[in-house]
Structure 1
Amino acid sequence: MLEMRPDCERCGTDLPAEKAGAHICSFECTFCSDCTKGPLAGSCPNCGGELRQRPVRATALLDRFPASTERKYKANA
């Protein structure tokens, strides 16, 4: 099951699991659409893998299968 990380690792933008707009690589590194389409040009800066649109988790399933709350963005990192 996908971890559904809550933020963009590059800029810190919130990425709710129940909404579109997140992109992930095969290691689940997570980035927003603006970073993916802009500076990252579709490639994960951590592993070099392709960034693909993350699927949305149905709101009805979030209680049973919650998204991660661990934020990955590190300001000034």
Structure 2
Amino acid sequence: MLILKPNCECCDRDLAPDSPDARICTYECTFCADCVETRLGGACPNCGGDFTVRPIRPAAMLARHPASAERVIGQHEACAA
């Protein structure tokens, strides 16, 4: 089951569990669409893989299996402001 991280690991933007802007790689590294397109060039800075739109968990299932509240911030050169 996906963890559904609550933020972009690059810019720390909030990403709600139902956000259409959340992107993940095969390791569930989580970034916003803007960072994936403008800062990361479509490649995960952790594993080098590509991204896909993060699936949205149905509300009834989200109540049973909530999203993570643990924020993750990477220390990637491309994300430095």
TM-score with structure 2 setting the length: 0.85
Q: Deviations over 1:1-40 (max 9, x none)?
A: 0001000000000011122110000000000010011111
The structure whose residues are more often helix, as a share, is 2
2:69 is matched by which residue type in structure 1?
A: T
- What RMSD, in angstroms, separates the aligned Cα atoms of the two structures? 1.6
Q: Which whole-Å CA distance do the structure 1 matches of 2:21 and 2:59 have between them?
A: 15
Task: Extract structure 1 runs of 4+ deviating beyond 4 A.
Answer: none
What is the match of residue 46 of structure 2? 46
Distance 1:53 1:72 in 2: 18
Distance in 1, Cα, partners of 2:4 & 2:47: 18
CA distance in 2, matches of 1:26, 1:55: 13
Could you say which residue in structure 2 is the equivalent of 1:70?
A: 70
3-state DSSP of counterpart to 2:41: coil
> Shift of residue 74 of structure 1?
5.7
Taking every aligned residue pair, what percent have the same amino acid on both sides? 49
Segments of 5+ residues of structure 2 without an aligned counterpart are none
What is the TM-score normalised by the length of structure 1? 0.90
In the alignment, which residue of structure 1 is the partner of 2:12?
A: 12
The number of equivalent residue pairs is 76
